[in-house]
Structures are given as structure tokens and as C-alpha cells.
Amino acid sequence: MADFSEHINQAKSNLNFLNSITSIKDYWDWKVTVSFYVALHLVNAHLAQKADLHYRTHNKVDQAINPFNTFSVTKFSEENYLAYTKLLGLSRRSRYLVNEKIRNNKNRLYFTYEKHFIKAIKNLDIILKYFNREYNVDFDKINIESEYYKSQTLNFFIP
């Protein structure tokens, strides 16, 4: 199983790839999916570092980082947890063309657009900030161009 530094290295590699594709028009589904995989490796690094945990299912990860799981030694703050679960939902939308709300089972297709990518990077930025503060991990800045991007206090994504 991968350790903390290996997950961090993979997250940084995925982040570099995300940086290389942000200037490409369209392909919002891939940009959202890559954003999620950056976060996934960061969460796995957190689990490995805090408790030497190595989960293979989203449900197990959810139980470990859920801030309302009183017995978990690896739980996230509510802000970080919500950011991760929103990224997971957006990634599901991108990969399976379903609504990002897991409990929504309507029989229709849900495509991914630029606005979903913007939501994804806002949530990814929250997780990157946490890792920067908590684990002193530095991440390269990413330049994005977007019609939907509004100037906000994102640390790692620059309009």
C-alpha cells in the first residue's frame, strides 16, 4: 500500500496534469475527474499518515473522514469533509452522467460543464489549503481561464 509521501507525489502529479489541461477548451468531465483524483490521493495520504489506514472503497473512506463519526481518529473538519464529498459527487456526474447528489435516481443524463469544473476547483482548493496548513505540503499554483470564475480567495487557482 502507498504511504503518505507516495500519495502526496501522486496528488501533485495529478495536479500538474490538471494544470496542463486547464487551458484546453471543453473536456470539463476530465478536468472534474482529475480534480477529484487529486483530492482522493490527498485523503488517502491523510489516512495513511494519521492511522496507517489504506481503504479501497469510497464508503470506508467516508466513514474514516466523516466529522460526525465520533470514533474516527482520521475525521476531517466539516468544511474539508463537505469539499471532498462534493468533489466525489461531481466526479460521479462526470464519469457516469448521473446527478452528483447520490440519492437522486432520476432516469436522465447529467453532463458536466464549465460551471461544474469551477465548483470542483473551489472544493479542491479547500482541501489543498488544509494539506498546506496541516502537513506543510506546498502545491504549485494553477492558472485557469473561465467565463464562470469569479474572483474569490482561492490560494492555488489563479484567474
Coil, strand or helix at 54: coil
Beta bridge partners of 157: 142
Beta bridge partners of 142: 157
**82-123 tens-digit pLDDT:** 999 999 999 999 999 988 776 666 678 899 999 999 999 999
**117-155 tens-digit pLDDT:** 999 999 999 999 999 999 999 999 998 877 777 666 688
The answer to whether 127 and 42 are in contact (CB under 8 A) is yes
- Structural domain spans, the chain: 4-158
Fold of 4-158: Four Helix Bundle (Hemerythrin (Met), subunit A) (1.20.120)
Report pLDDT for 130. 97
Q: What is the pTM of this model?
A: 0.94
